[in-house]
Chain A
Amino acid sequence: MRTAATTLEAPNKARARRQALALVFGCTILGAAAQILMKTGANHTAQAGVMAMIVSLPLLSGYALYGLSTLLLVLALREGELSLLYPVIALTYVWVTVLSVVIFHDRLNPFKLIGIVIVVTGVAVLGGARE
């Protein structure tokens, strides 16, 4: 009985883990898009003044998207193992850097690249730590 139960349960568990991973991956892209929208809104207010923050559409959409990605992340974290999902969460730093270069024409240099790689590794290591 026990072996039958475990063989039945194993594919379900694997599928739940894959779904959690896919959900977290989606969250990193949503989260990065939110940062880009917030930066776009913030750039506008740099010219229009701080009060323009309250009515900035990109900023508000950025907030909404950030809220959505956080909510989905919490859902995914309930299902999957944190140590497995954290390295995926750290991908947000990669997406934000890539999008900053593509959309805002930020310049990349070796310091930034090395820094990002080390930060991502650090977040992954931190998330993998067990109590």
Chain B
Amino acid sequence: MTTPPGSILLVLVASFIGSFGAVFLKVGAGRLKHGLWHILNVNLALGVAFFLLSSVFFVLGIRHGELSVLYPMVALGYVWTLFWSRLFFHEPLTHQKFVGLGLILVGVFFVGLGSQ
């Protein structure tokens, strides 16, 4: 069984949408410090909604093709999240994070090569 490029694209879109889920969860989790009843806040709800939407794209993506190719692509979500952390939360992009990011990109590229 080969993995169609469309399936890979769907999983990439899923990882992208999911990374926004993490951003909203982070904002929502920050509000929890003011009391646990803040668990019902818009940001947490949006975070969960983004994760659910992302999972729909993921399931559509894995309908065809190999899971051993498609699942590792989910790791690209870490790459997007790193960018949002820098952009929205001004977290420093350290040397080590940069190395991790590079390794994930190279690894996903190799897995993609292995899909044929």
List residues of A whose CB falls within 8 A of some B CB: 35-36, 38-39, 41-43, 45-46, 50, 53, 59, 63, 66, 93, 96-97, 100-101, 104, 106-131
| 25 A/B residue pairs, CB under 8 Å, sorted by A | A38-B58, A38-B62, A39-B62, A43-B63, A45-B59, A46-B64, A66-B55, A93-B75, A96-B72, A104-B66, A107-B66, A112-B68, A112-B114, A115-B72, A116-B107, A118-B103, A119-B111, A122-B75, A122-B103, A124-B100, A125-B99, A126-B104, A129-B94, A129-B96, A131-B92
Q: Which residues in window 14-51 of B have CB below 8 A to A?
A: none
Known: A93-B71, A126-B100, A129-B100. A38 touches B59 (CB 8 A): yes
Known: A115-B107, A116-B107. A39 touches B114 (CB 8 A): no
| Set of chain A residues within 8 Å of B106, measured between Cβ atoms | 118, 122
Q: Point out the residue from A106, A111, A124, A127 that lies within 8 Å of B67, measured CB to CB.
A: A106
- In the assembled complex, the Cα of A59 lies from the Cα of B60 at a distance in Å of 11
| Set of chain A residues within 8 Å of B96, measured between Cβ atoms | 125-126, 128-130
The minimal Cβ–Cβ distance linking A9 to chain B, given in whole angstroms, is 26
Known: A45-B63, A100-B67, A121-B103. A126 touches B78 (CB 8 A): yes
- In the assembled complex, the Cα of A124 lies from the Cα of B100 at a distance in Å of 7
| Set of chain A residues within 8 Å of B110, measured between Cβ atoms | 111-112, 114-115, 118
Interface size class of B (residues with CB under 8 A): 35 or more
- In the assembled complex, the Cα of A116 lies from the Cα of B71 at a distance in Å of 10
16 extra A-B contacts, CB within 8 A, seeds A42-B63, A116-B72? A35-B71, A43-B63, A45-B59, A59-B59, A104-B68, A106-B1, A113-B114, A114-B110, A115-B111, A118-B106, A121-B103, A122-B99, A128-B96, A128-B100, A129-B96, A129-B100
- In the assembled complex, the Cα of A127 lies from the Cα of B92 at a distance in Å of 14
| Set of chain B residues within 8 Å of A121, measured between Cβ atoms | 103, 107
Q: Is the CB of A116 within 8 A of B64?
A: no
- Whether B87 is near chain A, meaning CB under 8 Å from some CB there, is no
